[in-house]
Amino acid sequence: MDSFELHRYVYKLPVNAFREQLRFCMDLLSVGEFAHKPVRQLSLGQRMRVEIAMALLHEPRILFLDEPTIGLDVMAKDQIRQFLRAVNRKKPTASPGRNLPGRSLPRASLPGALPDERRYGVTTYMMFAVKSFTNQLAYRSEVWLRLLGNLLAILIQVEIWRAVIGSSGQEGASLDQMITYSILNPLLLALLSTNVSEAVDSSLKSGSIATELIRPLSYPLYLLAGSLGLSLYKLAFTVAPAFALAGLLFGVLPPASPMNLLAFVAALLIAMLMSFLLGYLVSLLAFWLMSHFALSWMLGGLITIFSGSFLPLWFYSSGWAAVAEALPFQYLGYVPAAVYLGTMTDEAMWRTLAIGLIWAAALLLLVRWLWSRAVRRLIIQGG
C-alpha cells in the first residue's frame, strides 16, 4: 500500500479520485489479498497485477503493455485480460502489446497526468525519503550486524592508537582526542555510505531506469531523497546507538564548545551532500563506461587516503597534508571530526566550511552538466 500512496504523491492525484481508482483496480485484479505484503514476497503474477494497477492509477492517456502476461499461468493471464477489458469499458485506455491472449483492445485518450509534466513538489521527495527509511526497517537483523561491525571497527582503531601514542599522547593530539576521533570517523563513514552509484548501476543494467525516468519528477532529486532516507535510518538505528555505546565503553570527549557543535552539524550536512554528489558523479560516468566498479573502487581508495578517516591530517607530512587539503575528500572525515574536537581556530573552521560549500556547488554544477549529456546516451532495448 505504501507504493500506491507514493504513486499518488508522484502524480499529485486528488485523494477521492485516487481511492476510487485504487478500489476499482484492486477489486478487479484481486490485489487486496496481498496489498500489504512487501514487494519482494510477491509472486510473478501478483507483481504483474500490482504493476498494471499502479500504471492505471493516474489514468494515463495511453498505456502500452509489452508482453504483460509472459511467464504467467492461464488463470493469471485470463484475470489480466478481463481486467483490461473492464478498464476499456469504463474509460478506453489500454493498448496491449505482444503475448496478450484475446482480441486487441482499443486505444484512446484520457485526461490525466502527462509524463512530461515536470511539476515537482517537496512533499513528493519527502515521501520518497520516508519510503527509503521504512524499507530499511524490514531488515532488522542488519541493525545488530551493523552495530556490531561499527563497534568492532572502533575497538580496533582505539587499541591501535593506545598502543601507538600511549597515555601521554603525542605532539598534535592527546590520547582522549584520538579515541574520540576513532569513534567519530567509522560512524561518519557508515553514515555517508549510501551506495548511490550501485543503485544507478543496477538500474542501468536491469533497464528499470526507463520507468524511473518517465515519472513526472526529477531523477537526481529522487536519488537524493532515497539517499537522505537511508542516511536518516542509519543515524537513528546505527550511528547514534553505536556512538552512545562507544562513549560508555571507551569514553568520548564532548564538543569543544557550543559553536563547535553548531559547526559540526554544518560540516556533517556538507559531508552528506558531498558524499551524495561524489557517488552520483561516479554513477553518471558509468553512462559512458557501462560499469561503475572501477570508478567506485578508485573513489573509495581516494577517500580512505585523503579523507583522514583513519589517520588525521595533522599527522601527514606537509606535502601530503597540502594535497589532502586541496581535495574535497577531507570533508568526509577529517573536517567534521576536527571541528568537533576544536583543533582548528574559529577563523580556520569557518573558512574551511565556506570552502566546503564552494566544493559542493562546483560538484553540483558538474553533475548537472554531466546529467544533461548522460541521458542523451541512454538507450533502453526491449525484450
| C-alpha cell belonging to residue 18 | 485516487
Domain ranges for the chain: 2-96, 125-377
What is the chain's mean pLDDT, rounded? Answer: 80
Mean pLDDT computed over 3-30: 78
pLDDT band at 172 (very low <50, low <70, confident <90, very high): low
Residues with Cβ < 8 Å from 157, sequence gap 6 or more?
Answer: 182, 185, 186, 310
- The answer, yes or no, to whether residue 110 has pLDDT greater than 60, is no
- Cα(223)–Cα(199) distance, rounded to whole angstroms? 9
Mean pLDDT computed over 214-233: 86
In whole angstroms, what separates CA 162 from the centre of its chain? Answer: 36
Terminal CA-CA length for the chain: 29
- Cα(42)–Cα(157) distance, rounded to whole angstroms? 43
Mean pLDDT computed over 82-89: 76
- Cα(334)–Cα(66) distance, rounded to whole angstroms? 51
- The answer, yes or no, to whether residue 112 has pLDDT greater than 70, is no
118 burial type by CB count under 10 A (0-12 exposed, 13-18 middle, 19+ buried)? exposed
Which residue pairs, CB below 8 angstroms and at least 24 apart, start in 257-262?
257/342, 259/346, 260/339, 260/340, 260/341, 260/342, 260/349, 261/340
Arch. (CATH architecture) of 2-96 = 3-Layer(aba) Sandwich (3.40)
- DSSP strands (E only) in the chain: 63-65, 94-96
69 in Cβ contact with 99 (< 8 Å): yes
- The answer, yes or no, to whether residue 114 has pLDDT greater than 60, is no
Q: Which of 51-65, 76-90, 108-122, 188-202 has the lowest mean pLDDT?
A: 108-122
